[in-house]
Structure 1
Amino acid sequence: MLPSSNRLRRSDDFRRAVRTGRRAGRRAVVVHLFSPSGVRPDDAEPARVGFVVNKAVGNAVLRNRVHRRLRAVMAARLGELPAGSLTVVRALPPAATSSYDELVADVDGALKRVLDPR
């Protein structure tokens, strides 16, 4: 479970991460990461994460399962995210049939790409 301080809730924050952040996609997920520049780690807010799992993924049962799995994956990776960053994980339709390990691999690959300073 994600702590309350690490949850992305406001639509403006989702919009900022998706429109101006770095993006990396894999088979089952797309990860958007917005990291503000010039923020010192001791002054910054904690990294916040939000999820988008729309009806293209499947019915409500499948969407909730995918959401729970993605939340568990990202909870374990909060320490890797820059302080004050906004991260949106968007599930694609193949996420409904992906195993937990496949979701972990897709999220890790996408995170590695968006965190790369190139």
Structure 2
Amino acid sequence: MLSPDHRLTDADSFRAATRGRRSGSRTLVVHLGTAGEGDDPARIGLVVSKAVGNAVVRNRVKRRLRHLAREHVGVLPGSAVLVVRALPAAATSSYDELRVDLARCVGRVLP
């Protein structure tokens, strides 16, 4: 689970991330931007729309992505904002497929 300090909650920060670097895969799209000051902790936000599936499927995808994103907080630079958007293919993907896709996309957007 992501700690409250590392959660992205406000809409302005989500918008700031979309102005940064972007990388995509079959199951998700990752945006990395900066918002705030240099001493702020890195924050992560998730976007899982109804296109992914019904409420049960969306919540399962969110739980998996939250757990996987927690592993990447340490490698993000200070004040970084990472937004992970799930695509419909994420609904049928396994945990390991999501882990590989997230790691690949985060690696591409890091400077």
Q: What TM-score comes out, normalization by structure 1 length?
A: 0.90
Matches for 1:68-107 after TM superposition, within 5 Å:
68-107=63-102
User: Does the 8 Å contact 1:17/1:32 carry over to 2?
Assistant: yes
Q: 2:44 aligns with which of 49, 72, 83?
A: 49
Corresponding position of 2:103: 108
Letter aligned with residue 32 of structure 2: L
Specify the alignment match of 2:24 in structure 1.
Answer: 25
Corresponding position: 1:10 with 2:5: no
Paired AA for residue 45 in structure 2: G
Would the aligned equivalents of 1:35 and 1:82 in 2 still touch at CA under 8 Å? no
CA contact (8 A) 1:47 1:84 kept: yes
SS at match of 2:30: strand
Instruction: Quote the Cα distance in structure 2 between the aligned partners of 1:80 and 1:97.
Output: 28
Percent identity for Structure 1 against Structure 2: 55
* 1:106 alignment partner, SS class: helix
2:34 alignment counterpart: 35
Q: Report the alpha carbon displacement of residue 23 of structure 1 after superposing the two structures with TM.
A: 0.3
Shift >4 Å, 4+ stretches: none
RMSD across aligned positions (CA)? 1.2
Task: Give the number of equivalent residue pairs.
Answer: 110
Asked whether the 8 Å contact 2:45–2:82 carries over to 1, the reply is yes
The correspondence of residues 53-64 of structure 1 with structure 2, limited to 5 A, is 53-64=48-59
Unaligned runs of 5+ in 1: none
Residues of 2 paired with 1:28 and 1:104: CA distance?
10
- Larger radius of gyration, structure 1 or 2? 1
Question: Aligned with 1:83: secondary structure?
Answer: coil
Unaligned runs of 5+ residues in structure 2 are none
